[in-house]
Amino acid sequence: MAELIFYLLTNLYLLMGQKTVRWSRFTNTPYGTFCSLHKQISIGVLGLAMLNAFDAKANIVPDTLVAKDNTVTDLEEVSVSTSRAPMSERQSARMVTVLTAQDIKHAAVHSINDLLKYAVGADVRQRGEMGIQTDISLRGGTFAQITLLLNGVDICSPQSGHLSADFPVTMDDVERIEVLEGPAARLFGTSAFSGAVNIVTKMADHSNVQAHVFGGQYGLGGGDVHLNISNGKVSQQLSGGYDRSDGAVENSQFYQGKAFYQGRYRGEEADVDWNLGYSRQQYGANTFYSAAYPNQWEETERWIASVRAESKGKLHLTPTLYWNRNYDHFQLTRGSNMGENFHRSDVYGIGLNSWWKWSLGKTSIGADIRNEGILSSNLGRPIADAADFVQAHGTDEADSIFYNKKDNRTNVSYYLEHDILFNKVTVSLGMLANLNTALDEKLRLYPGIDVSYRPADQWKLTASFNQALRMPSFTDLYYKSPTQEGNVGLKPEKVSAFNLNARYRIQPFEAQVNAFYTHGTDMIDWVMYNDSDIYHSANFELNNMGFEVSTGIYFRQLFGESCPLNKFTAAYAFIHQEREDEVNIYKSNYALEYLRNKVVLTLDSRIVSNLNGSVTYRFCDRMGGYIKYDENHKSTGELVNYKPYGIVDLRLSWDAKNYTIYAEASNLFDQEYYDLGNIAQPGIWVKGGVKVNFDLFK
């Protein structure tokens, strides 16, 4: 049916010979095709949700429109983030996991960080709720080894990967989240070491207002507001949110605010997108660096800004300009200057990607210059002249607190990639050439090749090999405290990764299998060498290998719209590690504490009328352990292994046209579990809220 509609519309366009009208979205209304009659239509944007609909209902994803005279109209913008030139999800040579708008709507979560727990290949370790103090990793890597992107722009912090997941957007800002597992250096740069997570925000094509208020146990309360103004080619959206909680465990209270402005221009010659974001958090950092100091406290503040454009025509040019600033104020003992740190990191970047299509495929060439700098009271090299000290953010002259250390490095990257597209085969191969001033003036090469084969419309098989390098964070290099010591002699991490994947999709069923092997050299972790040691940042050799299996069934496609069940998905991930060096490690803080087994089960249903429900079960089996501390916060010297746990989350919602009322419970059965150290995660946490939305200027 989908092919027939595209075929008929294409012939109408050519026969009428009228001026081109550009579709930017599918409204799914019965009058849409009628309104297109006697007009020439080009498809501007085809979202992933529509791609999935084509796959599920017709087992095809159209990449071209073919007319009677064999004129071909390419749907170039039908793309996922797996190559530097736009490529359809069907054609792409790598698999990407997409958490869609429907996944977000039905999940019993209030933060991006919590939502990523439902991606079976992701490991999300938290010390609090609502995205507070979150570390996100992929395929047994560490939180510092992934690239986090907002609308395709790198927002990672060079100070510490701990701060990269402080997103300036709320859940209601998010359209979808793309998770690309495995190295992606030639796509996102060297920091995409074990994968990348791209958060794509939504922008309505009409003016509207949305408001959301919520509350729950442990003094939880908050809300957010979104205002969108669209006028022809220009759309602008402003959103803001605030939430707070007394915390479910000792010293875990938090306050956080977010503000986000985004705009877009859609023109005949070019498209332009721009973003400006701000976030601020204050929270009790229970056992953040050591259980010996339970009353730690931290305040972070972040600014991000970016502008991105893309020209239209045979040669596509995509320039990007971005800036990120992070402030961090940490106290080892709250209200005391003991172990107190002040930091300010800045990232400036400019990039240019270009691509064109010719008889042998699509070729992309690009370059990126990224400068990372830090001013700090703890991190970096001492500033020789006191006259060059900078007053610490949030203090005044009477406090006599200065940034008296600094460091700076520039990362220069050149990209070359070529995609060869056949009817059933895609080959994507390329190279990243990288120079970092913190190393030397030499260019280092990181190649990669991805291949996909589609023997039938229902099948997709892929294989890939990629390499990457990651520079140590400034915390890895310089941090010193009573419990930790950095190492200025750290080497960059290097990885070579192999991946095999098979996917089968036919109405109403889909299944996927991934297998991977990564060989890591000079991998960075914080470790203790004996039971009386402090943590040191160190390099060692480490290999990760494993597989992921996932399956899903769409009941309404099988039994019709009257079926109360909507979708069931099941996924399992297994990882095994091998450390090649023989140095004895008593305790790892990150790299060796991976999820060996993870299971995620989800069920969405329409219970009755507008009442919908969803339930999710997560089982996690973590390797490694933690040193147990007694009630007086003294070490017992006992190393306790992490215990496996299973968590059930439940959400009920009444979804009407202009409003939603919901109630949810995370950790429904009050399971006690540990993800990090001696801090138990929250038990059952009941929340509820109301969302309303209405259009403007009708």
Contact 470, 71 (CB under 8 A): no
Alpha-carbon distance 148 to 471, whole Å?
16
Cα 176 to Cα 169: distance, rounded to the nearest angstrom: 13
**CB distance 593 to 642 below 8 Å:** yes
- Per-residue pLDDT tens for 22-52? 444 444 433 343 334 334 444 443 333 333 3
Tell me which residues of the chain have a pLDDT lower than 50: 1-78
By CB neighbour count within 10 A (0-12 exposed, 13-18 middle, 19+ buried), where does 667 fall? buried
CA of residue 265 relative to chain centroid, distance: 25
Please name the residue ranges forming H helices in 426-559.
474-478, 555-559
Q: CA nearest 141: which of 489, 546, 488? A: 546
**Which amino acid is it at 673?**
Y
pTM of the model: 0.85
Distance of CA 213 to the CA centre of its chain: 25
- Give the model's pLDDT for residue 22: 41
Q: Report d(CA 36, CA 41) in Å as an integer.
A: 7
Query: Tell me, what's the pLDDT at 43?
Result: 42
Beta-carbon contacts of 286 under 8 Å, excluding residues fewer than 6 positions away, are 127, 128, 249, 250, 251, 252, 294, 296, 679
Q: What is the dihedral of CA 139, 140, 145, 147, to 10 degrees?
A: 30
Distance from the first to the final alpha carbon of the chain: 34
Give the bridge partners for 150, in sequence order. 153, 199
- How many Å separate Cα 285 from the centre of its chain? 23
Distance between alpha carbon 220 and the CA centroid of its chain, in Å?
25
By the 8 A CB rule, do 271 and 264 touch? yes
Amino acid identity of 53?
A
Give the DSSP H or E segment for 104. Answer: helix 101-106
Structure tokens at 105: 């709507």
Using left for φ > 0, alpha for ψ between -120 and 50, and beta otherwise, residue 393 falls in beta
Which residues on neighbouring strands pair with residue 345, listed in sequence order?
A: 326, 374
Nearest to 590 by CA among 519, 674, 526: 526
- Report how far residue 79's alpha carbon sits from residue 89's, in angstroms, rounded to the nearest whole number: 6
Cα–Cα dist 532/544, whole Å: 29
Predicted pLDDT of residue 631: 83
What confidence tens digit (pLDDT) does each residue in 369-407 have?
Answer: 999 999 999 999 999 999 999 999 989 888 889 999 999
φ, ψ (nearest 5 deg) of residue 114: -70, -35
